[in-house]
Amino acid sequence: MPGTDSSVPFIRVTGLKKSFGAQKTLQGVDLDICHGETLVLIGPSGEGKSVLLKHIIGLLHPDEGRVELDGVNLCSMTERQLLIARQRMGYLFQNAALFGSLTVAENVAFPLKEAGLRDQKQIADRVHEALDLVELSAHKDKMPVNLSGGMRKRAGIARAIVTRPECILYDEPTAGLDPVVTDVIDHMIQRMQKRFRVTSVVITHDMSSVFRIADRVVMLKNGVVSFNGTPGELRASPEPEIQNFIAGRSGLIA
């Protein structure tokens, strides 16, 4: 059964390179992500964290290198083959990417209906459960345009988790959220891992979230992995660059 052999990494990224025009965003990223682990991607803005995440789910095609899901190369798949592979994953977009023409509940129900679920009660229960996890049940009938940025993001998270995928990729799940809701989302990510052994890849700039949820931390800098280790190793790293990043120091003097 795929997804259970712990000797094979669930996701393996090898020599990934991607350029946009003259801008070399990824310059040879190597990364293994194991089943059930929560990996947090950190690094300065514009260093290709979202680009890497989009390669993992096959939204972008690399210039060089490969991305394997359970040993199967996603980069050699057609778009229609990728559609099937992606059903094992959930994805939270940085801007949530909710469908503007559907209510919050309809947005969350969308992947269930598309996956073929027809029982309306079962759909309603699953939607309620997902919205409850992100504390958004009270707003289920609102249109996305009437939600705050943080609420939109939480609705996006509910939509990403509602199908109970094996792996969820979060692009800045707590950006723009207040500290209490950030804590709720962090706990939800931890709970998903403990209860369903969900593999999570999280991009965040919130260092308290990093130390709260990460099994492993990867830092991207100049298009390559510049750090790969546990949160404890990150904290103990002697690299001034990493320490400045953790402390949020720019080095500028007022």
Binding piece for other proteins, criterion CB under 8 A, among 78-86, 117-125, 176-184, 241-249: 78-86
Q: Give the whole-angstrom CA distance, residue 60 versus residue 162.
A: 24
User: Is residue 97 a contact residue for other proteins (CB under 8 A)?
Assistant: yes
Which x/- pattern over 46-75 shows residues binding other proteins (rule: CB under 8 A)? Answer: --------x--x-x----------------
Nearest-approach distance from CB 247 to other proteins, in angstroms: 32
Sole binder of other proteins in the list 4, 23, 81, 95 (CB under 8 A): 95
Task: Give burial (CB, 10 Å; 0-12/13-18/19+) of 74.
Answer: buried
Which x/- pattern over 99-138 shows residues binding other proteins (rule: CB under 8 A)? Answer: xx---------xx--xx-----------------------
Q: Give the whole-angstrom CA distance, residue 231 versus residue 138.
A: 36
User: Is residue 143 a contact residue for other proteins (CB under 8 A)?
Assistant: no
Please name the residue that has the structure tokens 């939109």. 152
Q: Is the dihedral of CA 150, 151, 156, 160 positive or negative?
A: positive
Percent of the chain that is helix, strand, coil (3-state, to 5) = 40, 25, 35
The strand order across the sheet containing 11-20 reads 23-33, 11-20, 64-69, 72-73
Sole binder of other proteins in the list 93, 170, 227, 245 (CB under 8 A): 93
184's enclosing H/E stretch is: helix 179-196
User: Is residue 86 a contact residue for other proteins (CB under 8 A)?
Assistant: yes
The contact set with other proteins (CB under 8 A) reads: 54, 57, 59, 79-80, 82-84, 86-87, 89-91, 93, 95, 97-100, 110-111, 114-115, 159, 163
